[in-house]
Structure formats: structure tokens, C-alpha cells
Chains A and B, each alone.
Chain A
Amino acid sequence: MSESLKLAYFVAMKEGASYLGGLLLTDTSGIPIDFRYTEPITPTRLQGVLYGKALEPHLKEEVIQKTLLKELKSAPDLFILPPADMAGGWNGDSKCPALALQKTQEAPLARVGETFRVSPRELLLQSVEGGAPLRVIFALAVDPAAQDLAVQKLQEVAYHMDPVEPLERVYAALQTLVRPD
């Protein structure tokens, strides 16, 4: 097992009229190494009108993500997002493969580590023995070679931890920030 692998889990959520984000850095066991979050940003009404539909992607990709990544001392190996953000077309520049993981109800693939490519940006990965495969969705900026490398790292990580679960922890941590009770 490579002990140097670091996974970054990024969640940006909207709470009321404000946006805030959190970034969790874990090792290959899912143990937290670092956790950072932003203060809530509340766009003005004028900014909401001027940015239009681009407001939320801009806030997540340009403002919150860059602010949190800037604080990290070294770039993570994988940058993992919620599937909903990736489905909207993630254009953030994370300097590492950005991908989304989603559990499926698909039939298991033949062996652990086997992949089934669904589209140029999407594939199924058999991460554990006998379980349903994981759906891996890559960002537009991740080329096929980088995708293969990311799948290898993901397969290595999935042996020790559930690679999807830490996202729930980031959500829960942000919820405790905006709703302390």
C-alpha cells in the first residue's frame, strides 16, 4: 500500500442564501489528515442578477475550491466531488484528477479491479469482491491517460476504505457548522 496517497474530498453546499465549502484530506484508510472549510459567502442581489445561472458554478469552482486548495501544502492524488457537481460539468482547476464516485446497483464485474467504460468520461469499477461496481465520472479536463492512472489509485484505495464514505463526513461536518444544534 502506498502511504503517500492522499484523497481530497470537496463539498460545496448552499445553506439559505449563503454558500460554503469544505475540503477533507484523508489517507488511504479514510483517516482525516486535514480539514478546512470556508466561511459562508452570501452574494448580493445584484451579484445574483449579474451572474445569473453562472453564479453557483463560479462560486464552487473559482471561489470556494481555489480558496481551499490554496491552503493545502501539497496537491492531493485524487480530487473527489459529489456526483451532482460533476454532472453539472465541473470546470474547476484542481491540478489533480477530479472525479465523482457513485454507488450503483449494477451487477458485479468478473473480478476486482476490472473496469467497464460507459462513456469517454464515465466507467464502472469493481472495487470490492462481490459487491456492486462503483461508477466513476471524470471531469472534462481529465484525459484518458490520467483517467487510467486515477483508476489504479482508486483501486488501491478501495482495498482499505470505502472511497465514497468520506463525502458524507464532509457534509455532516458542514452541517454542524451551519447548524450547531
Chain B
Amino acid sequence: MAGLRDAMSDLAETIRRVFQPPPCHDAPMACPSPLTRQTQPLEARTQGPFQPATALAVPGELLRALPPVTVPLAWTASVAGEPGWQAWAAGAKVTTLPTFRAEKCARLAVPPLPRRVESRRGPIGLPAPRARQGMSAVAAPGTRAAGVDLGRPRSFRDLERILGLPAAIIGEDLGKLSKALWMRYTLQLVRATGENIRNLEVLGLYRIPAKGTRQINHDPATGRLLVTLGPEAAGARRAPFLLARRKTDAGIVCCFVEEP
């Protein structure tokens, strides 16, 4: 009986161990915290004045035997063990292999091997290219008309602008004037200027517009009269204009020698 009780006890213990939950161990999940240390602040210390290095001969002093150094050694007793065996025994898992049993099965039909292999009888070559039956007609491009014609510009009339530019008028040939006409002209010049005819040197006789004359300049190099006109000069009658210079002070005098 005692043997049976021990066997049952062993069986019960075996069953308890088999069905007990696997052991669970806590894993260290916390992140290691960095160690904090204090750093000694830097400090400046004064040093003595620089001493130049000097060579010193020390014969044999460095090779002499040094006195033994005593190292303090202390032995500390501690209990050491290996708990792995206990953990292995407690965490072991009993595996029960399945027993063989009869199952449904099907018969596979193995295909027979071919009795002969087909051989290729045709010539071996590149595939013939396909011939295109016809070309599709190229579509006619659209035409656009470009502006080639330069057109006709607008024109403007601005007689006043051109009248404001000095026009060069050539003096008439005094030698071709009749004496009577010349005397009449000089008399008119004396009357208009009040000068003595002996004090005047005639520079030229010009036909300029009787009105609308804005500015008159005489070019002594060419003998021309540069006349700047205003819009009133357009269509005005041309009148003889006598230009003379006083001999005494070289002053210029002038007048129309016919009534405008």
C-alpha cells in the first residue's frame, strides 16, 4: 500500500508539474537612467616662474631595486549558486507526440511518359516580317496667312513745324537791278533807317515773306539770309528786303523797300 501511495503521490506530483502554468519572469523594462556626476569647476592656479630645464646625470639611480609595495588584499565570503537548474526543471514542458491513426487517402494516377517526341520539320529561321499593305496619306497641313503687306502709313500735315526751321535765302544779284530801281530802294532804306547813304553798306537784297517773319540772321560767309517763319508766312507775298550795315559801328539796319 505504501508503494501504491508513493506511486500515486508521484503521479499526482507529476500531473501537477505538467499542468502548472509556465513560469513568468519580470524583465527589466526601465531604461537605464544616465548617471549624473559632478564635475569639478576649472580653476586657475598660479605657477612659479619658468625654470629652464637642465640636464642632470644620474648614473645607475633609475635601475636600482625598488622597495616592495604592500597591496592591501581582503577576502570576502559570499554564497554563490546556479538557479538555472531549478528554473529549467520548473519551466520544462512535456510534449506529447500524437499517435498514428488511419486517415482517408486517395490514389494518385501517374501520367505515362510520351512514347516519342515530335520533331520540327520546317526550316529554322527568323520570322518573316509583315508587309504593310499601303501607306496612309500624309494629311495636308493647314495654311495660315502671314501679314506680309506693309500697309499704308498715315500721313500728317505740319507746315508750322517746317516753317520754324531757318530757311536759307540767297540774295539777288544787285548788279542786275536797274539803276532806277536801285535808287528807289536805297532811298527807301534811308527813309526807313534815317541813316546817311554814305554811311551804309548794302549787304544784300532778299525776297522774303512780307509777314510772318520771326527771326532773321545774316550769314556773312555765304551772304545768305536765314529766315525763321511763323504760320502767318504761309502763302504770304514775297517782298524785297534790303539789309545794310553801318560803316561807323558795323550795326545792321534793314527794311522792306516796297510797301507790303
Binding site for B on A (CB under 8 A): 20, 24, 29-41, 43-44, 46-47, 50, 58-59, 63-64, 67-68, 71, 128, 159-162, 165-166, 169-170, 172-173, 176-177
Contacts and interface: CB of A to CB of B under 8 A. Distances in A.
Nearest to A1: B207
B209 A31 contact: yes
A162 B170 CA distance: 7
B250 interface: no
Contacts of A30: 167-169
Interface string B165-188: 101111011000000000000000
B156 A39 contact: yes
A31 B169 CA distance: 8
A166 B207 CA distance: 17
A27 to B, nearest CB: 8
A125 B238 CA distance: 27
6 contacts: A30-B168, A32-B163, A34-B157, A41-B153, A67-B155, A162-B170
B145 to A, nearest CB: 12
B153 A39 contact: yes
Interface of B: 146-148, 150-159, 161-163, 165, 167-170, 172-173, 207-209, 224, 229, 233-235, 238
B169 to A, nearest CB: 6
Nearest to A68: B155
A50 B148 contact: yes
Given A33-B234, A173-B165, A160 B147 contact: no
Nearest to A55: B150
Contacts of B156: 36-39
Contacts of B150: 41, 43, 47, 58-59, 63
B168 A165 contact: yes
A59 B152 CA distance: 10
B170 A35 contact: no
Given A35-B162, A162-B168, A176-B161, A67 B153 contact: yes
B37 to A, nearest CB: 81
A173 to B, nearest CB: 5
A160 B170 CA distance: 6
A50 B224 CA distance: 48
Given A46-B147, A59-B150, A29 B238 contact: yes
Contacts of A20: 153
B238 A63 contact: no
Contacts of A41: 150-151, 153
A161 B168 CA distance: 7
Determine which residue in B154, B208, B229 has the highest number of CB atoms from chain A within 10 A of its CB, and name it: B154
Nearest to A71: B155
A32 B155 contact: no
A40 B151 CA distance: 12
Given A32-B234, A160-B172, 16 more contacts: A31-B208, A31-B233, A36-B157, A39-B153, A39-B155, A40-B153, A41-B151, A43-B150, A46-B148, A47-B148, A64-B153, A71-B155, A159-B173, A161-B169, A169-B165, A173-B162
Given A46-B147, A173-B162, A39 B167 contact: no
Contacts of A71: 155, 157
Contact of A37 (B152, B158, B168): B158
A50 B146 CA distance: 10
Contacts of A36: 155-158
Nearest to A62: B150
A126 to B, nearest CB: 15
A169 B167 contact: yes
B159 A34 contact: yes
A64 B151 CA distance: 10
Contact of B154 (A24, A38, A128, A177): A38
